[in-house]
Amino acid sequence: GAVVSQHPSRVICKSGTSVKIECRSLDFQATTMFWYRQFPKQSLMLMATSNEGSKATYEQGVEKDKFLINHASLTLSTLTVTSAHPEDSSFYICSARTVKGIDTEAFFGQGTRLTVV
C-alpha cells in the first residue's frame, strides 16, 4: 500500500517557540493532505485540509495563524505550530488520500507527539 512518512515522531519544545512537522507521500502524489489532532483517549479531530499549491482550508475553531500549513509540492505538506503553548501538546497526524475510482483509502503518517513545556 501507499506510504506516508511523518517527521518528527516526537518533539519537545519550550513554550513560545515554533515547531514544524513534515508529512511526505513516498510513493504517490497527494494533491490533498489532511491534518488531524488527537488528545488522549479521544478520536482524531480534523484540523485542516491541505491542497497543493493553494491555501489550506481550516475547520471551524482552528486558528489558521497558529497552525500554519504549507503544501508546496505533490509529495510534501508541513504543519507549523507557532508560539506553542502547553495546551497545544497533542498527537498530530497527517493523512493523504489516493483516488482510484471509488476506492479512496486514506493513508496515515506515523504521527507526531508534541509536548510543550
Contacting residues toward other proteins, per CB under 8 A:
1, 6, 32, 34, 36, 41-46, 49, 57, 91, 93, 95, 97, 99, 102-111, 113
Task: Say how far apart CA 5 and CA 26 lie, in whole Å.
Answer: 7
Could you say which DSSP state residue 40 is in? T
Could you tell me the smallest distance in angstroms from the CB atom of residue 67 to other proteins?
A: 17
For other proteins, which is the closer residue by CB, 46 or 72? 46
For other proteins, which is the closer residue by CB, 45 or 82? 45
Task: Say how far apart CA 114 and CA 117 lie, in whole Å.
Answer: 10
For other proteins, which is the closer residue by CB, 10 or 14? 10
Task: Say how far apart CA 41 and CA 39 lie, in whole Å.
Answer: 6
Could you tell me the smallest distance in angstroms from the CB atom of residue 81 to other proteins?
A: 18
Residues 6+ apart with CB under 8 A from 53: 71
Could you tell me the smallest distance in angstroms from the CB atom of residue 86 to other proteins?
A: 19
Look at strands 57-58 and 45-51 and give their pairing.
antiparallel
Written as nine digits, the cell of 32 is 490533498
Could you tell me the smallest distance in angstroms from the CB atom of residue 45 to other proteins?
A: 8
